[in-house]
């Protein structure tokens, strides 16, 4: 396990034009409760998103994993528009493996109003830029449920490549899919690919929407 004192688990704020990623805190609770109700995101059976009444426990869970050295959680703050200054979702560096210079970007969700917008693209750009250029990552992973087609398409649009599918990887605990098994799609971007992926994302961000 990575000691929390390493830079990989030290809180950091990443700022872009559309989004600001700041260290997750209980102060974000009310915004996140409002955000998760936009689209009733917890109802998606192939995801694990906290219900409004469980949001405080979810924030505390992520912070405890940060203290243990395996996660660095962020609140996603909108930088413009009607939601400017408010938390509109969460994302993390998770499964941090500093000795092998790898991590996963995951446990990500956004309120419906900002899904498939420049904010989402910029969040991934900010996270990967920090991972590759500041932390010196060899590889950044993305994992998602086989049936989460929207997530898989979004990961592929980033330029990530499918490493494989972990079949019957986890037992699903969602009440709408009791006892089902999750096949997990594992994607990655490696350090040698980052310059091309970076150029692609910057091009996407520069396009008029």
Cα–Cα–Cα angle for 208, 157, 104, nearest 5°? Answer: 120
CA neighbor of 28 nearest in space, from 73, 70, 82: 73
- In the predicted model, is pLDDT for residue 2 greater than 80? no
Q: What is the pLDDT of residues 162-209, one digit of tens each?
A: 999 999 998 888 888 888 998 999 999 999 999 999 999 999 998 876
What are the φ/ψ torsions at residue 2 (nearest 5 degrees)? -75, 125
Q: What is the pLDDT of residues 76-114, one digit of tens each?
A: 999 988 999 999 999 999 999 999 999 999 999 999 999
pLDDT at res. 133? 97
Q: How confident is the model at residue 1 (pLDDT cuts 50, 70, 90)?
A: very low
User: pTM of the full predicted structure?
Assistant: 0.92
- In the predicted model, is pLDDT for residue 46 greater than 90? no
pLDDT at res. 4? 52
- In the predicted model, is pLDDT for residue 8 greater than 60? yes
Measure the CA–CA gap between 14 and 19, rounded to whole angstroms: 8
Q: What tokens does 7 get?
A: 């830079």
């Amino acid at each position: 396990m990575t000691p929390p004192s390493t830079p990989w688990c030290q809180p950091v704020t990443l700022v872009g034009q559309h989004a600001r990623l700041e260290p997750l805190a209980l102060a974000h609770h009310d915004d996140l409760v409002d955000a998760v109700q936009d689209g009733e995101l917890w109802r998606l059976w192939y995801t694990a998103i906290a219900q409004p009444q469980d949001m405080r426990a979810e924030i505390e869970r992520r912070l405890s994993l940060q203290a243990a050295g395996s996660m660095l959680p962020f609140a996603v703050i909108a930088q413009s528009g009607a939601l400017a200054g408010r938390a509109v979702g969460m994302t993390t560096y998770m499964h941090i493996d500093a000795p092998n210079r790898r991590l996963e970007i995951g446990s990500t969700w956004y309120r419906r109003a900002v899904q498939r917008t420049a904010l989402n693209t910029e969040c991934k750009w900010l996270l990967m830029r920090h991972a590759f250029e500041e932390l010196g990552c060899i590889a950044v992973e993305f994992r998602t449920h086989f049936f989460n087609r929207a997530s898989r398409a979004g990961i592929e649009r980033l330029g990530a490549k499918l490493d494989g599918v972990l079949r019957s990887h986890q037992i699903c605990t969602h009440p709408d899919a009791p006892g089902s098994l999750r096949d997990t799609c594992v994607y990655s971007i490696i350090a040698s690919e980052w310059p091309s992926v970076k150029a692609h994302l910057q091009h996407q961000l520069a396009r008029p929407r």
